């Protein structure tokens, strides 16, 4: 699946993330259309099949997936090794892990913000989730358009920050 949006310039992603990754540059766009921000991110999802679907969708949108983690500790280790800009974070992780706790650890340890992908929308979960100041929340099941919107907004917020 490819995204053919005339308002978005898809930029080929660098082959990997991390401190020695090649810089990402967008081709010149004619004003007033601005290039979408290409992101380097990790997917934190305990279900392998869902993680692969998310990875494929994110890459189809022109972003780079640095890796997939199934547990809180794998997410921290992957973030430490790859230094992505963003984490796509499930709320429930393998081994009884908690994506909200993982998001707090990534933010505190590495300054990495999260977009949550979750099937849980109950009040208590949403309250805990919003306390992490996520860059977005996408409820499962989600469409490619919803994921694209969330990543576009996250990219704009990250660009405004730095």
Is 144 domain-assigned? Answer: yes
For residue range 32-57, list pLDDT tens digits in order: 444 467 999 999 999 999 999 999 99
Instruction: Specify the number of domains making up the chain.
Output: 1
Is 94 domain-assigned? Answer: yes
CATH code for the domain in which residue 149 is found:
3.40.50.2300
Is 32 domain-assigned? Answer: no
- pLDDT of amino acid 20: 53
Could you list the residue range(s) of the whole structural domain that residue 104 is in?
40-157
Q: Which regions in the chain score pLDDT beneath 70? A: 1-36, 162
Is 138 domain-assigned? Answer: yes
Is 108 domain-assigned? Answer: yes
Is 72 domain-assigned? Answer: yes
Is 30 domain-assigned? Answer: no
- pLDDT of amino acid 121: 84
Helix residue ranges, H only, 1-143: 48-60, 72-82, 99-110, 123-130
pTM of the model: 0.77
- pLDDT of amino acid 80: 98
Phi-psi region of 110 (alpha: psi -120 to 50; beta: other; left: phi over 0): alpha
Sign of CA dihedral 114, 138, 47, 5: negative
């Amino acid at each position: 699946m490819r995204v053919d949006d005339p308002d978005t310039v898809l930029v080929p992603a660098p082959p990997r993330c991390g401190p020695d990754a090649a810089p990402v540059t967008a081709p010149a766009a004619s004003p007033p259309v601005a290039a979408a921000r290409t992101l380097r991110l990790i997917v934190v999802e305990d279900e392998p099949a869902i993680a692969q679907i998310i990875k494929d969708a994110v890459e189809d949108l022109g972003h780079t997936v640095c890796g997939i983690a199934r547990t809180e500790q794998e997410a921290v280790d992957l973030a430490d090794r790859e230094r992505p800009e963003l984490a796509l974070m499930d709320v429930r992780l393998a081994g009884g892990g908690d994506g909200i706790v993982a998001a707090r650890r990534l933010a505190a340890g590495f300054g990495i913000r999260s977009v949550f992908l979750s099937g849980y929308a109950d009040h208590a979960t949403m309250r805990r989730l919003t306390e992490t100041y996520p860059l977005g929340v996408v409820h499962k099941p989600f469409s490619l358009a919803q994921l694209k919107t969330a990543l576009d907004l996250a990219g704009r917020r990250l660009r405004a920050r730095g």
